[in-house]
Amino acid sequence: MKNLHEPVMVLEKNVMCDGPSNAPALGHPRIYLHIQTDNRIDCPYCGKVFVYANNALIAD
């Protein structure tokens, strides 16, 4: 089974989810999530994981 829970790196703590792009069958109404202090949040609908990437992590 393809991994549907590959973390999505985001640069803002407010993220939108309407389902995994690679699994349209798991789509759901658009919701907004706010990443808390642990720097990650799971979508309660589809289980998609958003990880907050701060500047230190994305700097190359």
Please report how close the Cβ of residue 12 comes to Zn ion at its closest, in angstroms: 16
Q: Helix or strand or coil: residue 8?
A: strand
| 15 is a contact residue toward Zn ion (CB under 5 A) | no
Contact 45, 59 (CB under 8 A): no
Q: How far is CA 42 from CA 17, 25, 36, in A?
A: 10, 18, 11
Interface stretch with Zn ion, choices 1-9, 33-41, 46-54 (CB under 5 A): 46-54
| 48 is a contact residue toward Zn ion (CB under 5 A) | yes
Q: Which residues bind Zn ion (CB under 5 A)?
A: 17, 43, 45-46, 48
